[in-house]
A and B are shown apart, each in its own frame.
Chain A
């Protein structure tokens, strides 16, 4: 019997920099993982028109929130642009030979440039924990 398999970049593996982003401590993304892997761009495409044209600002499918959660931090607790080499967005898109044009206009760091100002205490704890974990490794 032949079973159809869909193969995605990093299928079955955690992404390149495990333990360095807030997303790593979450059980699931805003939709089931396999749906997100396959269709994240459709959610973004849908949301972008709703946001720009109708002013809907929900967080679930917002690119800014993807970045907030999936961005990795270095040992000093500073965010690494999510589209730089080896980072969450870039890694898969290089593998699948797709260009991400989002970041030619959108910020690739969380809540740039006011991250420090807008960040909550919970966030600070979480990012410090990530930074500590990286240092320990």
Chain B
């Protein structure tokens, strides 16, 4: 565990000062995108996670994600799909135990897209990193490239997929920030909803380009860091108090 903590924390150097991206400073008012219009780079979806508020043993976010996306397991934890998971880390010197949700970090420079041979792994213009399962050939290079172990491969034939989350055998998949909900005007993701409902409020989702959005306020009022900042991936998921 200590190694994992070191891995995540030690390398996250020069933390809070580096994430001031020029695009974050512009302010724009969010309006619901009409269904017939393309997504634009006027928005940049991101997330803030206050690790201190995340409770050991709570799996509300994981359960909500599984329900939202129809992720049902086959009793094989090694290979069953997980879009979000809880990670527990322990500080060796203080014995402080920290738990936090871990999912696709939606990198600005995603290594999964760099290695994808078909272009199926791609970053949408609004910053969501996702898999185009129509062109995914299931080679799993992206799974190897991802430093956060965020992706899963579907090993089994599926039959009861949700309409809003098509997924099938032979494709890689991962958190897509509830892209279907977002495109239909939702301002929250399933995991954020669940975290708020459970009373913990550890997860905050929103538009990083909107200076008044709750995620920006959370980022501005804490001093969050990106995991493995040394990799210069410029993730859009920020962690505080880690």
Q: Which residues of A contact B (CB under 8 A)?
A: 48-50, 52-59, 64, 67, 104-107, 109-114
B35 A57 Cβ-Cβ under 8 A: yes
Interface of B is mostly: loop
Pick out which of these stretches binds chain A: B15-23, B98-106, B166-174, B227-235: B166-174
A105 B132 Cβ-Cβ under 8 A: no
Q: A52-B132, A56-B36, A112-B161 are in contact. Are A107 and B126 (CB under 8 A)?
A: no
Shortest distance between the CB of B68 and any CB in chain A (Å): 10
18 residue pairs from A and B, CB less than 8 Å apart = A50-B38, A52-B132, A52-B134, A53-B122, A53-B132, A54-B39, A54-B125, A55-B38, A55-B124, A55-B183, A56-B37, A57-B180, A57-B184, A67-B163, A105-B167, A105-B171, A112-B161, A112-B163
Q: Is B93 an interface residue (CB 8 A)?
A: no
Q: A52-B132, A107-B163 are in contact. Are A58 and B157 (CB under 8 A)?
A: no
Q: A64-B163, A112-B162 are in contact. Are A54 and B169 (CB under 8 A)?
A: no
B162 A54 Cβ-Cβ under 8 A: no
Cβ-defined partner of A106 (8 Å) among B39, B126, B166:
B166
Bound-state Cα–Cα, A106 to B134, Å: 11
Q: Which residues of B contact A48 (CB under 8 A)?
A: 134
Q: Which 10 A-B pairs have the closest CB atoms?
A: A105-B168, A55-B39, A54-B38, A107-B163, A105-B166, A57-B35, A106-B166, A104-B168, A55-B183, A58-B36
Q: Which residues of A contact B33 (CB under 8 A)?
A: 55
Shortest distance between the CB of B126 and any CB in chain A (Å): 7
Cβ-defined partner of A105 (8 Å) among B39, B125, B133, B184:
B133
Contacts between the two chains (Cβ within 8 Å), count: 65
Shortest distance between the CB of A101 and any CB in chain B (Å): 9
Bound-state Cα–Cα, A113 to B161, Å: 8
Bound-state Cα–Cα, A59 to B183, Å: 13
Q: Which residues of B contact A114 (CB under 8 A)?
A: 162
Q: Which residues of A contact B162 (CB under 8 A)?
A: 107, 112-114
Q: Which residues of B contact A107 (CB under 8 A)?
A: 160-163, 166
Residue of A49, A56, A114 ringed by the most chain B CB atoms within 10 A: A56
Residue of A48, A49, A106 ringed by the most chain B CB atoms within 10 A: A106
Interface of A is mostly: loop
Shortest distance between the CB of A66 and any CB in chain B (Å): 11
Q: Which residues of B contact A (CB under 8 A)?
A: 33, 35-39, 70, 122, 124-126, 130, 132-134, 157-158, 160-163, 166-169, 171, 179-180, 183-184
Bound-state Cα–Cα, A64 to B158, Å: 17
B38 A56 Cβ-Cβ under 8 A: yes
Q: CB-nearest residue of chain B relative to A101?
A: B168
Residue of B134, B167, B169 ringed by the most chain A CB atoms within 10 A: B134
B35 A58 Cβ-Cβ under 8 A: yes
Q: Which residues of B contact A113 (CB under 8 A)?
A: 70, 160, 162
Bound-state Cα–Cα, A110 to B163, Å: 7
Q: Which residues of B contact A50 (CB under 8 A)?
A: 38
A56 B35 Cβ-Cβ under 8 A: yes
Q: Which residues of A contact B133 (CB under 8 A)?
A: 52, 105
Q: Which residues of A contact B130 (CB under 8 A)?
A: 52
Shortest distance between the CB of A80 and any CB in chain B (Å): 14
Bound-state Cα–Cα, A54 to B130, Å: 12
Q: Which residues of B contact A53 (CB under 8 A)?
A: 122, 124, 132
Q: Which residues of B contact A106 (CB under 8 A)?
A: 161, 163, 166
Shortest distance between the CB of A6 and any CB in chain B (Å): 28
Q: CB-nearest residue of chain B relative to A60?
A: B36
